Amino acid sequence: MNISTKSDSRISNEISTNCQNDEKQNETSKYLNIATNMNEEKNSSYLNNESNDSEAFQYNKKLVMDSIKGMNSIDRTIDRIDSYYLDFKQFSADVVNSKDEYDKYRASFDFEDVDGIRSDLKLIRSGSLFVWIIGKESRDRTQKRISYIKFRRTPSWTKEKIDEEYKNAINRAEYFRKLTAENPSKE
Amino acid sequence: MSNFKEQHKGVSIVLVGNFSPLMFHPTWFSKNEVISEDDADAVVKNTNSNMVVSPGLTIFQTSNLEFSITPDRFMILAKKDPVIFAKDSILKTFERMSSVSIKALGINNFTIIELENASQFQDFADRLAPKDLWTNLLEDEVTGDDRKSGLIKMTMMKKTEFGAINFTIESTNKVKYGIHVSCNHHFDLAPDNGFADEAMAIIEKNFVNSSEKTQAVIDEIFKDL
Amino acid sequence: MQSIEQSILENSQLKIPPKNDEIEVTLFGKGFGESCLVHIGDKKYILIDSFLNNDTKRPIALDYLDAININYDNIVLVICTHWHTDHINGISKIISSAPKAHFVTYDILGNDKFQKFLSLGKSVENSSTDEFVSTLELIRKNNIRLVTAKHNQLLYKVHENILTHKKKVEITALSPQHIETLEYIIHLNLPEPKDFKYVYPHDNDISIVTWIEINNDVILLGGDLENKSDSRKGWKAVVLNHSISNNKASIFKIPHHGSLNGHNQDVWKDLVATNPISILTVFNKCDLPTLLDRQRIKGLSSDVYVSGSAKTKDFSSKTLSDQIKKLGTKISIKKTTQNLGIIRLRKIIGTTSWKEELYGESEAV
């Protein structure tokens, strides 16, 4: 059986050929709702307890669901933090325009600029990669200006990977030890 | 100077292999740091989120990613920027599951091109598919800027060492005079190397290259408009 | 349309190669990036550090040698002062283009922990550790002659009567000190399994300072070495332990982009001649050199030249600032430009006057 590695053609076809209006959300939910109804019982077993911070949760839920609907046109994105200040709730980084590699800036941000700061706080440290989205987002036929930061959750080192890299490192170190022993630099 | 606008870019990564959809609950993804706790909570606790988690199918969407898992197919779709999260998420998902069986993978870049007017739209379609052979069948239906019949979709395939690149162009109503362009970079994994760690290495190596190739082809086929 | 870099490199004056008995010091800067070529005679060059030409994506030093029609085989020594991104981009390309050149770097390549750090320091997307590891792998693969630098280590020597000008050439490292490399290794943090891949080390401490002596002319290239309170480290140690020559530098490549951290008064007294020509590159990220830095250096030098200065107005920066303002966020941005500047100094050996040439974004202070 040949399974396609393309994006789910059913969903993408619905988006590309059946969209008579701008609400992408409606088109995808048509497919999803059918499946949801069939599996309601199973779903309920996964429901967690309500968050204690219900007001913040409700607000955050709204933000997340709102932003699912919007398509954005991005002007600038990315880079990595090199300094951060927990006391002042600020961090700095070099950022570069994803559309123009020579359009570079030094930027300082408040923690508040981070989308989902509650769960991303632990990601704010030197070396972290993030994407700064700034531009316009289209929702329901209107365009809205947006600016937010999302931290990247990049693969971390596993013990197996570290062991493999250590093997390469030790081989290299041994080579250079031998090299400098055979050709010692003299003063 | 280009006479077209690129809108709504997105990327998806699809793996073909053996998976257990029931395992891939949003909470699993947040516990494994693939998505944030906030994103997972928003999906799980919102009754309108259209989440499905079952042995045969798992689908849900966060603020910019869509997840779709069946027993033989795993897909993450970044439907808007930052599209790199599609790569990050899939690498993060499988970083501790290196021995999962994967037979093939696809990196799919898509974008919607918005042309300026009907004339340009039809000129482009005629360039891709000249209508001389079709006039007997379709007659005047395939002429003029407001034609009712004509090209809907075409795919060009380029064979590669590891699989193929499939370039698909089709009309879309998402924007006026819109053309949906998608590029599927397909990789077949060798049977003796058909595991997640090999798939992740291919994705890591080809993700950026794949989008650059897509962009280069778009620039080329739309350049003379 | 020609790029700025292309127009600089096609300047007819720039394209004139040096004479065989002419010393040349050429400093390239672009706001983020530093590279220096020194001509020691007979078209032979020493290369110190590298960055990429924005236009060609090749090391700027190689593009310059193309412009003056000099074969890459004439690069006899490549010094990588330290492996920060702004000093190392393109070094592996240079090594592969000039395989006969000796390569100079730290004395810690044989240390397991340092090699482990390099292996683990690779980030998700481009990184200077990748470039450095690629360079080391090339050295291994192509049997490139390696010279390790430490205080008072002779890196390269040409005896009298070998070159057309018949003068002796000696290139010596004045740093790092042994204790600095030791402490660098001790303080190196290897990431834990849950950490991110990229880790920022502080390796200005082991930056290589180069002393180039051609006849009685001395060129002192300060790398990014900074001052330390401990007299066994930094510039204090360099001055205290200086014993290789009684001559003093008439050309001084100012360390660490002119920062106060890199300034040591005793260096100016003991290692540098009175009123030398000072040259340095801009480092936009930290706004270096500041106005005060420029004034300080000017007060100690006959002439000061800076390459990579950002003078052009930028439309995209204003656009982004306006966007941020309209959004009402408190995000602050500062444009970091990357405009190429070249400072070239030439002098016939045995004469006293240097000919000073400025190209692109370079200026006299």
- The interface predicted TM-score of the complex, written ipTM, equals 0.82
Torsion, Cα C104 C106 C111 C116, to 10 degrees, reads -90
Query: In angstroms, rounded to a whole number, what is the distance separating the alpha carbons of residues C184 and C168?
Result: 35
Q: What is the pLDDT of residues C236-292, one digit of tens each?
A: 999 999 988 999 999 999 999 999 989 999 999 999 999 999 999 998 777 789 899
Query: In angstroms, rounded to a whole number, what is the distance separating the alpha carbons of residues B39 and B61?
Result: 9
Higher pLDDT, C76 or C132: C76
In this prediction, residue B106 carries a pLDDT of 95
Once rounded to an integer, what is the mean pLDDT over residues A14-27?
24
Query: Which residue carries 């699809």 as its tokens?
Result: B14
Task: Evaluate whether C250 touches C220 at the Cβ level (below 8 Å).
Answer: no
A162 assigned to some structural domain: no
Query: In angstroms, rounded to a whole number, what is the distance separating the alpha carbons of residues C100 and C92?
Result: 13
CATH superfamily entry for domain C4-364 = Ribonuclease Z/Hydroxyacylglutathione hydrolase-like (3.60.15.10)
Query: In angstroms, rounded to a whole number, what is the distance separating the alpha carbons of residues C308 and C29?
Result: 5
Task: Evaluate whether C253 touches C280 at the Cβ level (below 8 Å).
Answer: yes
Q: Extract the tokens encoding C86.
A: 């702004």
Contacts of C330 in chain A (CB under 8 A): 110, 113
B157-190 core/surface letters (b: 16 or more CB in 10 A; e: else): eeeeeebbbbbbbbbbebbebbbbbbbbbbbebe
A186 assigned to some structural domain: no
pLDDT of C40 over the 80 cut = yes
Verify that A59 and A78 share a domain, yes or no.
Answer: no
Verify that A140 and A85 share a domain, yes or no.
Answer: yes
Higher pLDDT, C238 or A83: C238
CA distances from C221 to C211, C251, C254 (A): 7, 8, 7
For B110, the domain range is: 4-12+100-221
A138 assigned to some structural domain: yes
A18 touches chain B (CB under 8 A): yes
B107 assigned to some structural domain: yes
> What pairing do the DSSP bridges indicate for beta strands C146-149 and C102-106?
parallel
Contacts of A122 in chain C (CB under 8 A): none
Query: In angstroms, rounded to a whole number, what is the distance separating the alpha carbons of residues B138 and B129?
Result: 14
End-to-end Cα spacing for chain B? 9
Chains that touch A (3 or more CB pairs under 8 A): B, C
Residue C341 contacts by C-beta under 8 Å, 6 or more apart in sequence? C28, C29, C30, C281, C282, C306, C307, C308, C309, C358, C359, C360, C361, C362, C363
Amino acid present at C201 = P
Q: What is the pLDDT of residues A36-76, one digit of tens each?
A: 222 222 222 222 222 333 444 444 444 433 333 333 433 33
Higher pLDDT, C338 or C154: C154
Q: Extract the tokens encoding C214.
A: 């051609």
A158 to chain C: nearest residue by CA?
A: C193
Using CB atoms and an 8 Å cut-off, which of residues 28-47 of chain B contact chain A?
30, 33-39, 41-46
Q: How far is C361 from chain A (nearest CA, A)?
A: 16
Are C320 and A187 inside 8 Å of each other by CB?
no
Verify that A61 and A129 share a domain, yes or no.
Answer: no
Q: How far is A110 from chain B (nearest CA, A)?
A: 19
Kindly tell me the burial class for residue C6, based on how many C-beta atoms sit within 10 Å of its own C-beta (0-12, 13-18, 19 or more). middle
pLDDT of C126 over the 60 cut = no
Quote the percentage of chain A above a pLDDT of 70. Answer: 46
Are A108 and C324 inside 8 Å of each other by CB?
no
How high is the mean pLDDT of chain C?
A: 88
A3 touches chain B (CB under 8 A): yes
Q: How many domains does chain A have?
A: 2
Q: Which of C53, C136, C332, C334 to mutate to test the interface with A (most CBs of A within 10 A)?
A: C332
How high is the mean pLDDT of chain B?
A: 88
Strand runs labelled E in A5-141: 71-85, 90-97, 100-110, 129-139
Task: Evaluate whether C199 touches C155 at the Cβ level (below 8 Å).
Answer: no
Contacts of A109 in chain C (CB under 8 A): 331
Verify that A63 and A83 share a domain, yes or no.
Answer: no
Higher pLDDT, A167 or A115: A167
A159 assigned to some structural domain: no
Strand runs labelled E in chain B: 4-17, 52-53, 58-61, 65-70, 73-78, 102-115, 153-159, 163-172, 178-188
A187 assigned to some structural domain: no
Task: Evaluate whether B44 touches B52 at the Cβ level (below 8 Å).
Answer: no
**Other residues' Cβ atoms within 10 Å of the Cβ of residue C275:** 11
A122 assigned to some structural domain: yes
Concatenate the DSSP letters of all residues of B43-91 into one string: HHH-TTS--EE-SS-EEEE-SSEEEEEETTEEEEEE-SS-THHHHHHHH
A94 assigned to some structural domain: yes
Query: In angstroms, rounded to a whole number, what is the distance separating the alpha carbons of residues B74 and B106?
Result: 10
A75: three-class secondary structure by DSSP: strand
Query: Which residue carries 């499946």 as its tokens?
Result: A35
Verify that A80 and A30 share a domain, yes or no.
Answer: no
Closest by CA to C103, choosing from C126, C136, C127, C133, is C136
CA distances from C337 to A55, C26, C45, C81, C318 (A): 45, 21, 29, 23, 14
B8 assigned to some structural domain: yes
Q: Extract the tokens encoding C203.
A: 């390796």
Query: Which residue carries 């919607």 as its tokens?
Result: B112
Q: Which of A171, A179, A186 to mutate to test the interface with C (most CBs of C within 10 A)?
A: A179
CA distances from C71 to C45, C61, C66, C75, C97 (A): 10, 12, 7, 8, 10
Query: How many beta-carbon pairs under 8 angstroms link A with B?
Result: 174
Are C116 and A170 inside 8 Å of each other by CB?
yes
Q: How confident is the model at residue C127 (pLDDT cuts 50, 70, 90)?
A: low
Closest by CA to C37, choosing from C358, C342, C349, C364, is C342
A121 to chain B: nearest residue by CA?
A: B36
Verify that A23 and A90 share a domain, yes or no.
Answer: no
Verify that A58 and A82 share a domain, yes or no.
Answer: no
Q: Extract the tokens encoding B191.
A: 């049977």
A62 assigned to some structural domain: yes
> What pairing do the DSSP bridges indicate for beta strands C22-29 and C34-41?
antiparallel
Query: In angstroms, rounded to a whole number, what is the distance separating the alpha carbons of residues C314 and C336?
Result: 10
**Of A7-11, C202-206, C339-343, highest mean pLDDT:** C339-343
Verify that A57 and A87 share a domain, yes or no.
Answer: no
**Of B29-43, C37-51, C324-338, highest mean pLDDT:** C37-51
Of C54, C136, C332, the CB nearest to A172: C136
A22 to chain B: nearest residue by CA?
A: B174
- Residue ranges of the domains in chain C? 4-364
Verify that A104 and A82 share a domain, yes or no.
Answer: yes
C315 touches chain A (CB under 8 A): no
Q: Which of A2, A5, A75, A123 to mutate to test the interface with B (most CBs of B within 10 A)?
A: A5
A45: three-class secondary structure by DSSP: coil
Once rounded to an integer, what is the mean pLDDT over residues A103-131?
81
Task: Evaluate whether B76 touches B65 at the Cβ level (below 8 Å).
Answer: yes
Q: How many domains does chain B have?
A: 1
Q: What is the pLDDT of residues C145-167, one digit of tens each?
A: 999 999 999 999 999 999 999 99
For A39, the domain range is: 10-43+51-68
A39 touches chain B (CB under 8 A): yes
Once rounded to an integer, what is the mean pLDDT over residues C326-341?
80
C199 touches chain A (CB under 8 A): yes
